[in-house]
Amino acid sequence: MFIDTHCHIHEADFPLSIDETLSDAKDAGVDTIICVGTSEASSRAALTFATSHQYCWASIGVHPHDTKDGYANIESLAHSSQKIVAIGEIGLDYFYTNSPKDVQIKALEDQIKVAVAHDLPIIFHVRDAFDDFWPIFNKYPGIRGELHSFTDTKANLDIALEKGLYIGVNGISTFTKDEAHKEMFDSIPLDRLLLETDAPFLTPIPFRGKVNQPAYVRNIAEYHAKRRGISLIEIASATTANAKKLFAI
């Protein structure tokens, strides 16, 4: 019924029992999970985890924060398994600049080329960097993907939609107090909306203060169904169809 399109439960420091986490997800109707890599080691772990769990899939890539530590092995890893459904999360993050901007930019372009070579969608992480991101995106016509954890402006949302991107929405959307952000989330077309937890981070209401987990995708869906005045089944059906189409799962 639901797909968590972005989480990190494969990481060694994930603080909850994996068996209980997967059982809770199933009980909540979350029957498919994408584990997303943030470094070379994290990407290998995501693939190992997905290979060991039937309804889990992997995305491989190096987060902009970690690009300074290398990303060359993503190319070889991309050849290794049909459990890989995307390249990501990759992108630009100028809020912290844990890696220099020029390193981030080169890593983004190089990893986009991996996605193109393997005909995979891309999970983009972009924060305070759209002025540099859009010109890079435009250099690669035909690429497809999503903006993960999107919390930017309506103007950048409109550009993303025009370019055919999907929009990943997580717990932030349930607890933000920014009215402009609330209106922006409400305006995302149903046929472009993806649900994600980013577990163990960004826990949605009503579970703030607890460790996030894939089961809470249902609560994010309930929140947005109520905001939009539609049924839970309608938002579940739409977002599941979107995820299946983008990630071919």
Helix extents (H) in the chain: 18-27, 40-52, 73-77, 101-118, 130-138, 154-162, 172-175, 179-187, 217-228, 232-247
Does 224 carry a binding-site annotation?
no
Q: Are 123 and 154 in contact (CB under 8 A)?
A: no
Cis check: omega of the bond before 141, within 30 degrees of 0: no
**Apex CA 217: angle with CA 212 and CA 220, to 5°?**
100
Does 6 carry a binding-site annotation?
yes
Antiparallel, parallel or unpaired: β 145-147 and 166-169: parallel
C-alpha pair distances (Å), 172 with each of 26, 70, 97, 150 = 23, 29, 22, 9
Does 65 carry a binding-site annotation?
no
β-strand partners of 223: none
Does 148 carry a binding-site annotation?
yes
The three-class DSSP label of residue 58 is strand
Does 11 carry a binding-site annotation?
no
Tokens 């703030």 -> residue: 208
Does 125 carry a binding-site annotation?
yes
What secondary structure letter does DSSP report for 127? E
Which residues participate in the annotated binding site?
6, 8, 89, 125, 148, 198
Which residues participate in the annotated binding site for a divalent metal cation?
6, 8, 89, 125, 148, 198
